[in-house]
Amino acid sequence: MTGYQGPQRVLSGIQPSGGMHLGNYLGAIRKFVELQHKYDCFYCVVDMHAITVWQDPAKLREQTFHIAASYLAAGVDPKIAAIFHQSAVRAHAELAWIFNCVARLGWLDRMTQFKDKAGKDKQRASVGLYTYPVLQAADILVYKATHVPVGEDQKQHLELSRDIAGKFNHDFKADDFFPLPEPLIKGPGARIMSLRDGSSKMSKSDGSENACIFLKDDADTMTRKIKKAKTDPEPLPSEPKGLEGRPEAENLVGIYGALSGKSDAEVLAEYGGQGFGVFKPALAELVVEKIAPIGAELNRLEADPAYLKSVLDAGAERASVIADKVVREVKEIVGFVV
Ligand code: TYM
């Protein structure tokens, strides 16, 4: 942090571009729940980010409710934290434009997520996909958020947000107007890997349906996916250093630890020397115990879209009060007539 003196605030967001999975839960939403008791929190469903790649309109609306319902089902309390959809707070888009004029092409050229998502033919990617991290910076800084809970894959985008905040403050001689937001990444679950390939992250867009555990999977599906998870033939080691070079084993031990609150060392003290024939059923039982109740609550909430809409609208109204004020100040700083 710099000398920023404003209130401590948290903002984070999830894209409504597919089903919510165990990686999103452990890397992000679980932290959202803890943080709501410590900070003023803003949790966004980033529908404008989702359309940087094609989204079927009817599905987008459905998935927006799905993400909102997931926040609630996991324990985010809408009376404490603001839950809203990005497109409903127009200050995000307004600030994003101004930030487009602050961020440098060279900074965006370095973004690895664009390279991954654009694939081989980047000429065909949307312009929005390229400036995606600039909109992300606007999401955060339109609330002058000081802390951003995310999984490890968002590290580079958070660095860019800090760079944009720093350059804005510097260029406009607006010392400490924006905080330099701190990513909150550390902790178990920051990087959950695919169940089919320990070297790629668990993702909603994974081609293999067994790679990803969704919060809405029923108990049998979760158990089957874990039983089918790729592993190696060796038994589990008795210490964490024995997991080196065994990414699939490391991932399953990490998931067990993240859900049970135990360190890798504690998990291995219990299961070291055992084969996956013993460990996988224990893991499946734990995943079902922790995730199935969230899935059940999620299904219950999704059956009531009118309630979800009322939560989103109330959240957007609350968020707009802060965001509109910040954008107005930014316009003055930049020299717009306000
Ligand atoms: P998205 O929708 O891809 O992911 C949402 C959150 O889940 C985390 N995550 C994971 N954590 C651990 N293991 C995994 N396998 C895994 N997969 C996903 C992500 O790190 C993220 O925290 N760019 C963001 C959305 C965003 C945003 C923001 C986040 C837009 N504006 C402002 C924070 C602040 C994204 O792609 O999320």
Backbone torsions φ then ψ of 212, nearest 5 degrees = -135, 130
Is 164 found in the same domain as 254? no
CA gap 29, 9 in Å, rounded: 16
**Can you give the pLDDT at residue 209?**
83
Is 173 found in the same domain as 29? yes
Structure letter (DSSP) for residue 110: T
Dihedral sign computed on CA atoms, order 86, 95, 24, 311: negative
- For residue 287, is pLDDT > 60? yes
**In total, how many domains does the chain have?**
2
**Can you give the pLDDT at residue 207?**
72
Ligand 1 pocket: which of 39, 46, 252 to mutate (most atoms within 8 A of CB): 46
The CA-to-CA distance between both ends of the chain, in Å, stands at 30
Residue nearest to atom 34 of ligand 1 (CA): 12
Is 136 found in the same domain as 266? no
Is 142 found in the same domain as 47? yes
Evaluate whether residue 196 is within a structural domain: no
Using a 6 Å CB cutoff, which residues line ligand 1? 11-15, 23-24, 26-28, 46, 49, 136, 139-140, 148, 150-151, 153-154, 157, 190-192, 201-203
Model pLDDT for residues 169-209, shown as the tens digit of each residue: 999 999 999 999 999 999 889 999 999 999 999 998 777 88
Range of the domain at 256: 219-299
Is 162 found in the same domain as 264? no
CA gap 338, 327 in Å, rounded: 10
Catalytic residue, chosen from 59, 155, 167, 204, is 204
The predicted model gives 127-155 an average pLDDT of 98
CA gap 265, 78 in Å, rounded: 37
Is 244 found in the same domain as 112? no
Is 60 found in the same domain as 129? yes
The predicted model gives 309-328 an average pLDDT of 98
The helix (run of H) or strand (run of E) holding residue 12 is strand 9-14
- For residue 2, is pLDDT > 90? no
DSSP one-letter string for 183-249: EE--STTSSPBPSS-TTSB--TT-SSTTS--BTT--HHHHHHHHHHS---SSPPPSSGGGGTT-HHH
Q: Percentage of the chain surpassing pLDDT 70?
A: 99
Evaluate whether residue 285 is within a structural domain: yes
pTM: predicted TM-score of the whole model, two decimal places: 0.97
Is 156 found in the same domain as 84? yes
Tokens of 319: 């968020």
The CATH number of the domain holding residue 38 is 3.40.50.620
Q: Is 173 a catalytic residue?
A: no
Evaluate whether residue 37 is within a structural domain: yes
CA gap 222, 284 in Å, rounded: 7
Per the listing, tokens 């320990």 go with 198
The total number of residues shown for the chain amounts to: 338
CA gap 181, 163 in Å, rounded: 10
